[in-house]
Amino acid sequence: MKILVTGGAGFVGFHLVDRLIGEGQRVVVIDNLSTGKKENLNPRSKFYKLDIRDPKISKVFQTEKPEIVFHFAAHIEARKSVENPISDADINILGSLNILENCRKYGVKKIIFASSGGEIYGNAKKIPTSEAYHPCPISPYGVGKLAVEKYLDAYSRLFKIPYVALRYGNIYGPRQNPYGEAGVVAIFTDKMLKNKQPLIHGSGKQTKDYVFVKDAIDAAILSFKKDFRGILNVGTGKETSVLKIFYLIKKLTNSNVKEKHILLPICSFKRGCLSISKAKKELNWKPKYDLYRGLEKTIDWFRVR
């Protein structure tokens, strides 16, 4: 099949592109390289350096005629979305609408969207949190993800375009960028291997659901192969504190760093953990990597990169 991946040079995107090509699919990538790297791209993919807001994207759809679209491009830093919500909405909402309009115009058969279970539910009172829980995002980033889900549902009803919105937990793994604000596993690993001081936001007792990148990609692949339409959580069903991540990585890297705490960002929440029973039922998917094994794989990559 001809498949278009937006954000295909980014951390999750290039893992997805590699997997799709490995399965014999023809893959087209759109990425503006603001955070992605061209050297990450599989040489067997066809690459267009474009922002998802660019009107020239219409030419890509017209020329390539993709059957399936994985929309994974986004501005991903929740804290920066608080600092500049207009920019975040411009990229994540209006950019997504540009993609959706072209999907409608050129007859795309299905859209798979990388949403955020880590941000959409906010301070959920029910842990693990299911897809049925009323979403209440705190950050503009989370609001944007929820808005795009609503647009996907509207386009599905109005124009009969099937979609799957994958509400991912905190994805980590090899080749993640350790220099941004997102991705505590990559940041801590890079710092500890270099004997530099990582910073823990707040008490470090706040929890999230950390899912290994290969498991995240498995769910994405199944989403386009199965007939399911709608919203699915993709995580582990287990909550892990930032302090636990800190001490596991400290142990695995043989680091001597001590805890150092800084203020918790205003868009943070105390607990995060996703119910994955629906994904198990609808996709026959479940995570293959526990946290310890995933961290080992990640740290091994960071050692030799």
48, 106, 133, 141: which is the annotated catalytic residue?
141
Q: How many C-beta atoms lie closer than 10 Å to residue 291's C-beta? A: 19
| Chain-centre distance for alpha carbon 174 | 14
Residue 131: φ, ψ to 5°: -65, -20
Which residues, other chains included, contact 255 with Cβ-Cβ below 8 Å and sequence gap of 6+? 192, 193, 195, 249
Structure tokens at 71: 């929309």
Residue 141 a catalytic site member? yes
In which residue are the tokens 């940041």 written? 187
Residue 98: how many CA atoms within 13 Å on its side-chain side? 22
Give the DSSP letter of residue 302: H
Strand 240-241 to strand 207-208: parallel, antiparallel, or no bridges (unpaired)?
A: antiparallel
d(CA 115, CA 105): 23
Instruction: Of 4, 19, 9, give the one whose Cα is nearest residue 216.
Output: 19
Which amino acid is located at 200 in the chain? I
Q: Report d(CA 251, CA 82) in Å as an integer.
A: 34
Strands (E) located in 119-244: 163-168, 170-172, 200-201, 207-208, 210-212, 230-234, 240-241
First to last CA, the chain: 33
Sort 58 into a burial class: Cβ within 10 Å, 0-12 / 13-18 / 19+: middle
d(CA 303, CA 69): 34
Cis peptide before 128 (omega within 30 of 0): yes
The residues annotated with a catalytic role in the active site are 141
